Chain A
């Protein structure tokens, strides 16, 4: 049991940091996709969704090619820190981020598309800038979908295996996450401890999906949205 704690802790750490990266970037990309028309939008949409359509091992290989000894990101970090990012816990963060990104963006896109653009126009008409409009009108109205997307991205990050094992390896205490630890334990015939971690994964997955579904299905409470404040500026 004691052996499991560092593995679970590292997995959570990787998933939290990955979620911290995909949340802001995902919001920007989703907003561009929903609200803006620009050249290359078609391709941005494809690039963003691509990790869904690729074997994760290919995502891992591409990342390794970027951050490894011969990759340009790898050479930059070699110059700055004296080592590449490959086979570090941050490589696991990159893998989890890229693989979970399409799910996050898709949830965000649906959430933002559900916000009536007229309300944004109204907010701007009342003198709010673009950023202020986004944070006081758009985001509060889309918050449930956004939180649901964050949760979905978090569970996907937590369960990442294929890309992770390629770019971060499977080094106990350094880069070994719950899925890669399960792989090692299965491969080495360590059945009981493999099942134990599998149950931990199951539990985390059920909790995250339960919260995700609850957020999407519960009735909307009007008091917490910017819409309400917009309608009743005095409140």
Chain B
């Protein structure tokens, strides 16, 4: 069938990637292809949603880059991931954003009190929502926010809602703002939320899990790809290794 050529190109490793990394990881894959000749494919979305697709629904992922603890726990508990985290040290921060002409805020409370339309990530699908929930909980504002805020699928969808003017404020990752021109940071949220750390690993028993691991280890170790991440605002510390 003709069909097989254009459609199910499943000879390439498929890596499920947190929405916040969607631009940078495509650039990293270009570097990877230029240097090794190997290609990878991606599926993007909220990490929790993607982890559930792998663990519960049989999605054919060979590797992943997720953010936060929950997605990794989902994979571990279902027996899909036991191995190393290739991306130790890759991190992010939470910020409040608004269309570029908005004035800066001085506290989280302002996002609630004046009743603007606030968009946040859905905590059941996107880790950005989990971190957002933690931040508002520690300010004792979560009840108000969970009642009034618009829930978006992932951090990019939340950013897009502010970008299009359909929301006045959004809580997203700092790196989302750098990839968007029409919004700017109005508040850097105090780190009352868990550390935002990424984890990259291979999926146990997947057809191309070794190829996925090769890509992830390349991304973690190549100075070029590390620079890509740092350039768009990710923190990327060299992990301390205990190996001799």
Does A209 reach chain B (CB closer than 8 Å)? Answer: no
Does A86 reach chain B (CB closer than 8 Å)? Answer: yes
CB closest chain-A residue, reference B41: A173
Q: Is the CB of B160 within 8 A of A89?
A: no
Does A88 reach chain B (CB closer than 8 Å)? Answer: yes
Give Cα distance in the complex from A14 to B42, angstroms: 20
Q: Is the CB of B160 within 8 A of A69?
A: no
Number of A-B contacts (CB under 8 A): 83
Does B164 reach chain A (CB closer than 8 Å)? Answer: yes
Stretch at the interface among B130-138, B150-158, B211-219, B220-228: B150-158
Give Cα distance in the complex from A68 to B207, angstroms: 17
Once A64-B57, A69-B57, A170-B43 are accepted as A-B contacts, the answer to whether A187 and B8 lie under 8 Å apart by CB is no
Q: Is the CB of B154 within 8 A of A13?
A: no
Give Cα distance in the complex from A174 to B163, angstroms: 29
Once A82-B207, A187-B157, A188-B160 are accepted as A-B contacts, the answer to whether A172 and B8 lie under 8 Å apart by CB is no
Residue from the list A86, A88, A89, A189 in contact with B163, Cβ < 8 A? A189
Give Cα distance in the complex from A184 to B45, angstroms: 9
- CB-defined contacts of A56 to chain B, threshold 8 Å: none
Residue from the list B8, B44, B58 in contact with A69, Cβ < 8 A? B58
A residues 45-99 in Cβ contact with B at 8 Å: 64, 68-70, 74, 82-84, 86-90
Task: Tell me the smallest distance from the CB of B206 to a CB of chain A, in Å.
Answer: 9
- Taking chain B's interface residues, is the majority helix, strand, or loop, or is none over half, making it mixed? mixed
Q: Is the CB of A188 within 8 A of B59?
A: no
- CB-defined contacts of A89 to chain B, threshold 8 Å: 3, 7-8
Give Cα distance in the complex from A171 to B9, angstroms: 11
Give Cα distance in the complex from A168 to B172, angstroms: 28
Most buried by A among B6, B180, B207: B6
The number of residues on chain B lying at the interface, defined by a beta carbon within 8 Å of a beta carbon of chain A, is 33
CB closest chain-B residue, reference A85: B58
- Give A173-193 as 1s and 0s: 1 = Cβ < 8 Å from B's Cβ atoms: 110000000001011110100
- CB-defined contacts of A189 to chain B, threshold 8 Å: 156, 159-160, 163-164, 180
Task: Tell me the smallest distance from the CB of A140 to a CB of chain B, in Å.
Answer: 29
Give Cα distance in the complex from A90 to B10, angstroms: 12
Q: Is the CB of A68 within 8 A of B58?
A: yes
- Give B39-62 as 1s and 0s: 1 = Cβ < 8 Å from A's Cβ atoms: 001111100000001001111100
- Give B157-179 as 1s and 0s: 1 = Cβ < 8 Å from A's Cβ atoms: 10110011000000000000000
Task: Tell me the smallest distance from the CB of A177 to a CB of chain B, in Å.
Answer: 10
Does A17 reach chain B (CB closer than 8 Å)? Answer: yes
Most buried by A among B7, B45, B60, B164: B7
Does A6 reach chain B (CB closer than 8 Å)? Answer: yes
- CB-defined contacts of B163 to chain A, threshold 8 Å: 189
Task: Tell me the smallest distance from the CB of A209 to a CB of chain B, in Å.
Answer: 25
- Give B188-206 as 1s and 0s: 1 = Cβ < 8 Å from A's Cβ atoms: 0000000000000000000
Once A188-B160, A189-B156 are accepted as A-B contacts, the answer to whether A171 and B14 lie under 8 Å apart by CB is yes
Give Cα distance in the complex from A169 to B53, angstroms: 9
Give Cα distance in the complex from A86 to B54, angstroms: 10
Task: Tell me the smallest distance from the CB of B164 to a CB of chain A, in Å.
Answer: 6
CB closest chain-B residue, reference A176: B43
Enumerate chain B interface residues (CB-CB to A < 8 A). Answer: 1-3, 6-10, 14, 19, 22, 41-45, 53, 56-60, 152-154, 156-157, 159-160, 163-164, 180, 207
Selected A-B contacts with CB under 8 Å, 23 pairs? A64-B57, A68-B57, A68-B58, A74-B58, A82-B207, A84-B60, A86-B59, A87-B53, A87-B57, A87-B59, A88-B10, A89-B3, A170-B45, A171-B43, A174-B41, A174-B43, A186-B160, A187-B153, A187-B156, A187-B157, A187-B160, A188-B160, A189-B163
Of all A-B residue pairs in the complex, the 5 with the closest CB atoms, nearest first, are A189-B160, A69-B58, A89-B7, A187-B157, A171-B43
Enumerate chain A interface residues (CB-CB to B < 8 A). Answer: 6, 9-10, 13-14, 17, 64, 68-70, 74, 82-84, 86-90, 169-174, 184, 186-189, 191
